[in-house]
Structure 1
Amino acid sequence: MSHSTTRRTLLGTGLALGLAPAAQAQAYPTRPIRLVVPFPPGGGVDAVGRILSEPLGTLLGQPVVVENRAGAGGAIGVDQVAKSPPDGYSFSMVSPGNMTAGPLVRPTPYDPLSLGFVTMVVRSPLLLVCRNTLAAQNLAEFVALVKREPEAVRFASGGVGTGTHLAGELMNLRLGVRMVHIPYRGTGPALTDLIAGNVDIFFSDTSAWPMVQQGQLRLLAVSSAATWDTSPQTPSVGSVVPGFDISNWYGIIAPPGTPEPIRARIAAEVADIIKRPAIVETLQRIGFQPAAMPPAEFAAFVRAELDTWKAVVEAANIRSVD
């Protein structure tokens, strides 16, 4: 073989290799995609994952199969995806419990910042609810009460290190007070005791809303600076407590090293889905607002959340009791 023939052969081989990734990207996906929900069926993360799966599969041309892999506060399912091949066929739903607040209290087998960020999907405020017999009738009166008698106020949480716990500790930090923390094993027991009057306040997820509507609890404020569409007249905690702005949120991650074009495509498809009026209505009915973010923006958001909660965990000296 001549030198020129050899050179042409090598150039042809190089061009073919160079085109391979592009061809693969155009072909993706060629088989079903797994979307892990790292919590049991029936919760908010599960609901959002299932709302997305069918329309996402239609847009991608391949089924998106939801798999529930619960355990360790959502860490088991995320770790399983983190250790999967970075080929665009494994994704996981994530939340503060397994990405920001939780890992600061209970170390996870994965580094949240090393994961392949795809997109945030939804956000919702936490609802600052109180027992009906609490003397404070509104947020301003409650803050005045806390400043006057902080150790007389008992705030419930769904457990040590949960978002509901850290929200209460952030209020302590911002107001310079020390309310008494009463941890429960989940949101349900905390709400039950709040209705019974055994604790005073709780930063609940939106599952407390029906209890507010039924008159069993009083809604004092929402935790986010943005207005909550479900109850737009409700003030934000930050309107009285400077520097208080937190949300509950759910997003999607991929294994570390998953190609950016694949992550960007999934993010774009999800953004399209959650703009559809029927999907928006479904999400709002369960208390969520669409909140799509491209991969880089989602990664920056998680980094900022970790910084915020790290300061709270250190200031409150929170330690896992597991």
Structure 2
Amino acid sequence: MQRRHILQWGTTALAAPALLAQAQSFPVKPVKLVIAFPAGGPTDITMRALADNASRILGQPVIVENKPGAGGTLPAQALQGAAPDGYTIAQIPLGVFRLPYTTKINWDPVKDISYVINVTGYAFGLVVPADSPLKTWTHFVAWAKANPGKLSYGSTGTMTSPHLTMELIAQKLGIELLHVPYKGSADLMQSILGGQIMAAADSTGFAPQVEAGKLRVLNTWGAERLAKFPDAPTLKELGIDIVQNSPFGIGAPKGTPPAVVKRLHDAFKQAMEQPSYRTALARYDMVPMYMGSAAYQKFAQDTFAREKALVEKLGLAKVQ
């Protein structure tokens, strides 16, 4: 028995320097960054700018893989089967923290992800076609009240922040809306421009279409009006006490060595500070929103509890 313990100790002692050396040399091959929404939308464009910067800092390519669908939760689920070596990392949208309340899963969003860094959050709003008779938020609410369940709006997916925020708004105002989910901003914009839906709740991936005169902004969801759309009131200005900016960042598989997590954190923090990333964010009225690994882990824990309360309030929790 004593000999076995000595052998186990010896094996652990030998493995520790090897793991440390592996972490110190990280990365020696490309890193895959899985993001939650399709190519061409604001998430894809801004995360590719960040990945390009991080590639130069790490000395290895950071390759973006789009994995849309399931309310933005597929990248986090992909981490559960990935090796904890830092070579597969993923975007963690807010919808990840709602997942266990609406779907049966066998992993924990707080405990089973190594939180690396939070990088930004979305600027959200509601848009309608430029020729829509719903010219203001007042018109929107009045039409919805007169036509219960008939005013269709699209979002970037079921249980995403645009979906839940619109449902919370509807609950507060006593109106019933018809929700149509899409895989991301690119699909959503095609649908509203094609006349399939009456409105779209989205991050400011709609900005180019508004600037081209094809869409109109009825409201935005931040604490203050957006500089790009100064005429669009915030929800708070409209008497709805909601601010939504949905922070998101990057996670790695559970058990990723702390030295590798730190290397990734430091590289992506430096990447966030580059002008090219800030320019990409500004295109969609997004701003850098930094949280270090410890702070991001705490944010995950707090958000997990808060989202449970929201899902239950909206009556969307799964039947146990």
Give the TM-score of the pair, scaled to structure 2. 0.76
Tell me the residue number matched to 2:174. 177
1:213 maps to what in 2? 211
Q: Rg larger in 1 or in 2?
A: 1
Residues 37 and 46 in structure 1, CA contact (< 8 A), matched pair in contact too: yes
Superposed, which structure 2 residues align to 1:46-61 within 5 Å?
46-61=44-59
The reply to whether residue 281 of structure 1 matches residue 315 of structure 2 is no
Q: Which structure 2 residues correspond to residues 1-322 of structure 1 after superposition, within 5 A? A: 23-70=21-68, 72-97=70-95, 99-101=96-98, 104-108=101-105, 110-113=107-110, 114-132=112-130, 133-134=132-133, 137=136, 139=137, 141=138, 145=142, 151=148, 154-158=151-155, 159-173=157-171, 175-186=172-183, 191=189, 194=192, 200-231=198-229, 234-318=232-316
Tell me by how many angstroms 1:253 deviates: 0.6
RCO (CA 8 Å, sep 6+): is it higher in 1 or 2? Answer: 2
1:233-277 CA distance string (max 9 Å, x none): 643213334531112444211001223343233223212222222
> 1:42-78 CA distances to partner (integer Å, 9 max, x unpaired)?
3443333322223212212233233344554544443
Q: Is the 8 A contact 1:270 1:292 kept in 2?
A: no
> Which segment is superposed worse, 37-46 or 213-222?
37-46
Rounded to whole Å, the distance in 1 between the matches of 2:196 and 2:63 is 42
CA contact (8 A) 1:38 1:93 kept: yes
Report the counterpart of residue 4 of structure 1 in structure 2.
none
Contact 1:131 1:199 in 2 (8 A): no
Distance 1:282 1:184, change over 3 A: closer
Contact 1:155 1:168 in 2 (8 A): no
How far the C-alpha of 1:176 sits from its partner, in A, is 4.5
TM-score normalised per structure 1: 0.76
CA contact (8 A) 1:155 1:179 kept: no
| C-alpha separation in 2, matches of 1:265 and 1:284 | 27
Structure 1 position 134, deviation (Å): 4.0
Displacement of 1:222: 1.4
Distance 1:170 1:150, change over 3 A: farther
Write the distance in 1 (CA, Å) between the matches of 2:297 and 2:74.
Answer: 21
Write out per-residue CA displacement over residues 260-303 of structure 1, whole angstroms, 9 at most, x where no aligned residue: 34323322321222222232112322443222211222233334
Pairwise CA RMSD: 3.7
Name the SS of the counterpart of 1:168 in structure 2: helix
Structure ranking higher in helix proportion: 1
Task: Write the distance in 1 (CA, Å) between the matches of 2:272 and 2:227.
Answer: 16
Distance 1:91 1:127, change over 3 A: same
Aligned-pair identity in percent equals 26
C-alpha distance 156-205 of structure 1, shift in aligned 2 (>3 A): same
Q: Distance in 1 between matches of 2:44 and 2:173?
A: 37
Equivalent position amino acid for 2:35 in 1: V
Q: Distance in 2 between matches of 1:56 and 1:240?
A: 40
Q: What secondary structure sits across from 1:253 in the alignment? A: strand
CA distance in 2, matches of 1:164, 1:87: 33
Residues 147 and 41 of structure 1: CA distance in aligned 2, closer, same or farther (over 3 Å): closer
Tell me the secondary structure at the aligned position of residue 112 of structure 1: coil
Unaligned stretches of 5+ in structure 1?
1-11
Shift of 1:314: 2.2
Contact 2:218 2:232 in 1 (8 A): yes
1:169 Cα offset (Å): 1.0
